[in-house]
Amino acid sequence: MELAKGGVRWALPVVVYVCCCLVFLLNLNSSNGVEASHNVFMHLQSLSAVNVRKEHRTGYHFQPTKHWINDPNGPMYFNGVYHLFYQYNPKGAVWGNIVWAHSVSKDLINWEKVEHAIYPSKPFDKYGCWSGSATVLPGNKPVILYTGIVDDKNSQVQNYAVPANLSDPYLREWIKPDNNPLIVSDPSINATFFRDPTTAWLGKDGHWRITIGGRRNRRGISYLYRSRDFVHWVKAKHALHTSAGTGNWECPDFFPVSVSGTNGLDTSVVGPNVKHVLKVSLDATRFEYYTLGSYEKDRYTPDPDMIDGWNGLRYDYGNFYASKSFFDPSKNRRILWGWANESDSTDKDIKKGWAGVQLIPRTLTLDPSGKQLLQWPVEEVENLRKNKVELSNKILNKGETVEIKGITAAQSDVDVTFSFGSLDKAEPFDPSWDRYDAQKLCGQKGSTVEGGLGPFGILTLASQNLEEYTPVFFRVFKDQDKYQVLMCSDASRSSASVDKTKMDDGKDAYRPSFAGFVNVDLNEKKLSLRSLIDNSVVESFGAGGKTCITSRVYPALALYGNAHLYAFNNGSETVKIDSLNAWSMSKPVKMNH
């Protein structure tokens, strides 16, 4: 009943939220073109989808049957079941009326929708139930911490919720006890930038810790709170970490990684063979940045060679935001979930009746160099593979393209290793280029501009005659005494403007040339690439997951059976497809139907 009135109640807070973000964005004078904080369209928030358009819906990426989704919330493994909660508008295809929707799975691929877990109903979350995390407490007791919006000024507090019935394997019902809120801001905190509590970790002193994102002026902050009993929380004198000029930190994530193996670690693990990761979602850029570092005396210090700001390492150089990781004890791994927003217009989202997908969960490990993370799709996704096709030792001379036939290219998994005989033809890296603006470089030197070593890669979601395609490719540059490997996922030609009755008439869509550099050793003269292609998603992993890029694209021709996949080389150096394996991907049997 409370929920039914949500539309009106949300008006002011969301406007304030977005205004704050916009003012802040202007202040920082930054925009890379990625859509700013969830745009607010009051008149559209409760416009329920009547017909859901299937075109461009994903086959195996997580989507509810209709309406808007954003951040993954509180992922956890509990008694044999994976739980994924997510920010969801039950009433329309734009951001608003947000509840914690809830789906459960035994394999991270097949998902069953259950009742919404948390929704505005109490004074401490009357104006919104925003993002948060789950912690499984000793005694196998899950608890959720989430941000509640308490007034029309958009003030934020931190609340908790617990399962009503621990013997229900799906934990369908959640209770928000009356001693909420657990944490309110003190006068030193701007209550409108105080959100997204992390999974808690337990210190050797028996006290729990969490961190909460925010900002003071332009300094991004990760506040630290401690508690002995999980109910009474005290702010530490010092933040876990701050960084000047980075703006508001959303959805922080803080966890250990092993330096001596690939197993994931429970969030409370500390010790000599452990490094820590702090990830923040930067509201101003809509990218996610992380550093590796050390955690001592409740302070996090990035390693000296880490860039602690906008030019730092990103989880993904494309459309990937508000991610959250969790430790999966059943397979001793750390898993990362990220959200990919749509890239087309709000008008199109309304027409489609849906917006947003969760990307395929990724296993996170530390690269042997200790200087970055590696991400790789969870192994379970491979159960969807069928109709394998293979290619090996295939030479690609300059200007050559080869079609990979025999799979449903619109919904596929492609894993390819390219090799080359020499690095001599790598183009010189112009010292005037911005080493941190790979996207700009990719925009200038796309897949068709002839190069030396590269561009080579694959053309995904391509129409037969290449009127449209999304290339994912490498281009190697010689930069003084080292090589720079540029990886691009270029949406600029992803849709042919051919038919205005189609979903994408070529207008409104944001079609960036997303790109990142790949810190890879080229001694073996090989580069590998894996792409998960799913109708409107191209999720790519360069060099074993060193650099990841996700694009959302809306082909007009390359739909379903009309989509093609090619490998290509537009560099003067001949490259060889050492091996290529590609599969059609089935739909999961269960996906929130």
Residues that bind ligand DQQ (CB under 6 A): 38, 70-71, 87, 98, 130-131, 147, 195-196, 250-251, 281, 321-322
Considering the complex, what minimum distance in angstroms separates the CB of residue 212 from ligand DQQ? 10
Considering the complex, what minimum distance in angstroms separates the CB of residue 286 from ligand DQQ? 9
What is the DSSP track for 140-166? TEEEEEEEEE-STT--EEEEEEEES-T
Which of 70/285 has CB closer to ligand DQQ? 70
Return the SS3 of 255: strand
Return the SS3 of 6: helix
Token duo for residue 89? 């508008």
Which of 87/551 has CB closer to ligand DQQ? 87
Token pair 């150096």 is found at: 573
Nearest residue relative to ligand DQQ (C-beta): 130
How long is the chain?
Answer: 593
Considering the complex, what minimum distance in angstroms separates the CB of residue 510 from ligand DQQ? 17
Q: What distance in Å separates the CA atoms of residue 319 and residue 300, rounded to the nearest whole number?
A: 27
Which of 14/509 has CB closer to ligand DQQ? 14
Q: What distance in Å separates the CA atoms of residue 580 and residue 92, rounded to the nearest whole number?
A: 41
Token duo for residue 489? 């996922």
Which of 56/195 has CB closer to ligand DQQ? 195
Under 8 Å CB-to-CB from 261, ≥6 apart: which residues?
A: none
Q: What distance in Å separates the CA atoms of residue 582 and residue 593, rounded to the nearest whole number?
A: 28
Q: Which residues pair with 255 in a beta bridge?
A: 277
CA distances from 564 to 180, 429, 512, 567 (A): 54, 33, 21, 10
Which of 128/588 has CB closer to ligand DQQ? 128
Neighbour-count burial for 44-74, b at 16+ CB within 10 Å, e otherwise: bbbbebeeeeeebbbbbbbbbebbbbbbbbb
> Among 222, 362, 356, which residue's Cα sits nearest to residue 279?
222
Which of 97/540 has CB closer to ligand DQQ? 97
* Residue 71 is among the residues annotated as catalytic for this protein: yes
Considering the complex, what minimum distance in angstroms separates the CB of residue 130 from ligand DQQ? 3
**How crowded is residue 232: how many other Cβ atoms within 10 Å of its Cβ?**
11
Which of 131/365 has CB closer to ligand DQQ? 131
Considering the complex, what minimum distance in angstroms separates the CB of residue 27 from ligand DQQ? 18
Q: For residue 57, how many C-alpha atoms fall within 13 Å in the half-sphere facing its CB? A: 18
ω into 123 cis (within 30 of 0): no
Q: What distance in Å separates the CA atoms of residue 79 and residue 426, rounded to the nearest whole number?
A: 53
Q: Which residues pair with 168 in a beta bridge?
A: none
Catalytic one of 71, 283, 349, 490: 71
Considering the complex, what minimum distance in angstroms separates the CB of residue 113 from ligand DQQ? 19
Which of 74/545 has CB closer to ligand DQQ? 74
**How crowded is residue 155: how many other Cβ atoms within 10 Å of its Cβ?**
18
Considering the complex, what minimum distance in angstroms separates the CB of residue 185 from ligand DQQ? 15
Which of 88/418 has CB closer to ligand DQQ? 88
Return the SS3 of 80: coil
ω into 181 cis (within 30 of 0): yes
Considering the complex, what minimum distance in angstroms separates the CB of residue 151 from ligand DQQ? 16
**How crowded is residue 437: how many other Cβ atoms within 10 Å of its Cβ?**
13
Q: Could you tell me how many helices (H) and strands (E) the chain has, helices first? A: 4, 38
Under 8 Å CB-to-CB from 358, ≥6 apart: which residues?
A: 61, 62, 63, 69, 72, 84, 86, 337, 338, 339, 340
Considering the complex, what minimum distance in angstroms separates the CB of residue 281 from ligand DQQ? 6
What is the Cα 178 distance to its own chain's centre? 34
Considering the complex, what minimum distance in angstroms separates the CB of residue 69 from ligand DQQ? 10
Q: What distance in Å separates the CA atoms of residue 374 and residue 367, rounded to the nearest whole number?
A: 6
Which of 349/573 has CB closer to ligand DQQ? 349
- Residue positions annotated with a catalytic role: 71
